[in-house]
Amino acid sequence: MVRIKKNNKPMNFGANANTFLKAERLRDDMTQAEVILWERLKGKQILSLRFRRQHPIGQFIVDFYCHNAKLIIEVDGLIHQKKDVMEYDAGRTYELEKAGLMVKRFTNNEIENNIETVIESISIICQKRVIMDM
């Protein structure tokens, strides 16, 4: 099922059924940093905006997504410092940004050791992006 919001853009950008199934499985296997961040994003705690976790967008599954702000939040562990993973992430970010989305990355360390700064950063980005979309 494709859900349409007021701006008439589907939230999943054409993700297929297999991608949705993978996303469901990933929700049951979140990292510690993802769990910490999800506790602060769920329930519209930031500017009354809804965030989704392990959300399919086209061929990708993003860690967190706010459709109203067109914001993707990625949580990066140590593997994201490897050259081939960095190259893949850059290509993935390029494709997602081509669709009008913003990708913001935080490290596990930032989330686990400085969650208040992470939340403040997300709040500022959301506020700017929601106002821009009006």
pLDDT for the residue 7: 44
User: pLDDT tens across 29-58, in order?
Assistant: 789 999 999 999 999 999 999 999 999 888
| Mean model confidence pLDDT for the chain | 85
Q: What is the chain's Cα-based Rg?
A: 14
User: pLDDT tens across 11-34, in order?
Assistant: 666 666 776 666 667 777 789 999
Contact between 5 and 13 under an 8 Å Cβ cutoff? The reply is no
Relative orientation angle of helices 32-41 and 115-133, to the nearest 10 degrees:
50
Confidence of residue 105 (pLDDT cuts 50, 70, 90): very high
In CATH terms, the fold of domain 31-133 is: Endonuclease; Chain A (3.40.960)
Joined together, the tokens standing for residue 17 give 């059924």
Beta bridge partners of 53: 64
